[in-house]
Amino acid sequence: MAGGYDRAITVFSPDGHLFQVEYALEAVRKGTTTVGVKGKDCVVLAVERRATPKLQDPRTIRKILVVDDNIALTFAGLNADARVLVNKTRVECQSYRLNVEDAPTVDYLARFIARTQQKYTHRGGVRPFGISTLLGGFDTKGQPALFQTDPAGTYYAWKATAIGKNSKSVTDFLEKKYKEDLDEDATIKLALKGLLEVTEASGKNIEVVIIKQSGITWMPDESLEPLVKELDDTAEKIAKLKEQQ
C-alpha cells in the first residue's frame, strides 16, 4: 500500500518513491507497443495501430507525429497528454528557429521534452504526463539519433528500443538482432520484426515512418502489407512449439 503518499505529487514516501510518477510509468506500460530503430542514415519508428470504428475518420488518430522538418515523435500512454506535450514541442521548435535561425536537433528536443516532463513531477496542483516518447531525427553532426523520454523526466539515446505494452519482449529481440550501420531496408525490417513479436501480422495494424535528412516518409499500406506477410513467422513458431511438445 502507498499509505497516502500517492495523494500528492510533491511528497516522497519514506523509502524514496514518488508514487504518482510510478503510476504514470504504469500508464505507459499499458500503452500501444512502439518500436524505434536507428540505421546508418535513417531512423525508423513503427507503432501498433489500434483498430478504428467504421464511422471514425482514421486521420484523427495518429500515433506518429511530426514535430519538425526531419524530426518525428511517437509515444506510448495517454493520447491527450501526448497532444499537449507535442504542441509544446512544436512551439519550442518554432521559437528555436526564430532565435537561432537554424533547425533544432533531435537531442535538443529530447532535452526540452524531458525538462517539461520533469517540471510536472515536483509542482503542486499538477500531475505527471502519462506518456513515454521516442524521438527520431538527426544530431549536430548530421548523424541519425534515437531518443527516449519518460514521465520522470529522464531521457536516453538508443540504437534500438521499444516502449509500451510487451516492450521487454521486443527489446530482448532487438538486442539479439541489432547490427551496426543497417541500411534503410534492413532497419525497416528489424523494426517490423520486433513489432511482429507482439502484434498481429497485418499491415492495417501497423504504422511505419522513415526519417531521413531529406524529410519524413510514411510507409503506405500497399508497401507495408506484402512486407509484413514476408516477415511473419507465426506459422514457424507454432510448428516449433509442436515439435517441443
Using one digit for the tens of pLDDT, what is the confidence trace for 44-99? 999 988 777 888 887 777 889 999 999 999 999 999 999 999 999 999 999 999 99
Whole-Å CA distances, 222 to 61, 177, 218: 20, 26, 12
Predicted pLDDT at 51:
76
Using one digit for the tens of pLDDT, what is the confidence trace for 36-55? 999 999 999 999 887 778 88
Strand order, beta sheet including 144-149: 64-68, 71-77, 131-138, 144-149, 155-158
- Tell me how far apart the alpha carbons of residues 4 and 23 are, in angstroms, rounded to a whole number: 14
Catalytic residue among 32, 33, 89, 121: 32
Which of 228, 165, 205 has its CA nearest to residue 51? 205
Mean pLDDT across the chain: 89
Asked if residue 203 has pLDDT above 70, the reply is: no
Strand order, beta sheet including 206-212: 160-163, 34-38, 43-48, 206-212, 215-218
Give yes or no: 60 in active site: no
Position of cell 503510476? 23
Predicted pLDDT at 145:
96
Q: Give the contacts of 166 (CB within 8 A, at least 6 positions apart).
A: 33, 197, 198
